[in-house]
Amino acid sequence: MNKLALLEAALFITEKPLKLEELAKLLKTNEEEVKNLLEELNARYAREEHGVEIAKLNGFRLTVKPEYAREVARFTKHAELSRGLLRALSIIAHYEPMKQSDLVRAIGNRAYEYIRELVNLGLVVAEKHSRTKLLKTTRLFEEYFGVKKAKELRSRGALNDSS
């Protein structure tokens, strides 16, 4: 079995990022060889004729290149995000990093469910911060929605602080 093809298939089919250890076990090899195979795939996908790339965020998975994300977004299962989930995500994106406790105050106890789902989808990370969690959007969020983080846009002058 071709290890490169198997790696590509695993990265394509997974919904959650795969760790080096998981990939090494699947390919029956060591992590160093997995890294080399990932580099080889990255080199292929870097070429203009490919619409995907390997994203590294708590592991590895194939994602759509940002320049194509907006055009193909309607074909993803995430296109059907609920209104409440989108509301929670938009609040997090606007105020990030934001405390989980502030989101709960803004939208109620349902926020815990939304956060869990957004983390599972890979759109948000929740990091322990004192007695609460800090919520931030991920690179996948940026790729999926074809947007830059509000903080980055503000630093470039594209947004003012009142928006």
3-state secondary structure of 2: coil
pTM: 0.53
Going by DSSP bridges, is the β-strand pair 124-129/132-137 parallel, antiparallel, or unpaired?
A: antiparallel
Digit-coded pLDDT (tens) for 103-112: 999 999 999 9
Digit-coded pLDDT (tens) for 26-85: 999 999 999 999 999 999 999 999 999 998 877 898 888 878 877 877 777 666 678 888
Domains assigned to the chain: 3-64 (1.10.10.10), 75-155 (1.10.10.10)
Closest to 60 in 3D by CA, of 34, 89, 78: 34
Digit-coded pLDDT (tens) for 81-104: 788 888 999 999 989 899 999 999
Closest to 56 in 3D by CA, of 158, 161, 140: 140
CA–CA distances in Å: residue 28 to residues 2, 5, 40, 92: 12, 14, 18, 40
Mean pLDDT computed over every residue of the chain: 84
Distance CA(12)–CA(61), nearest Å, equals 7
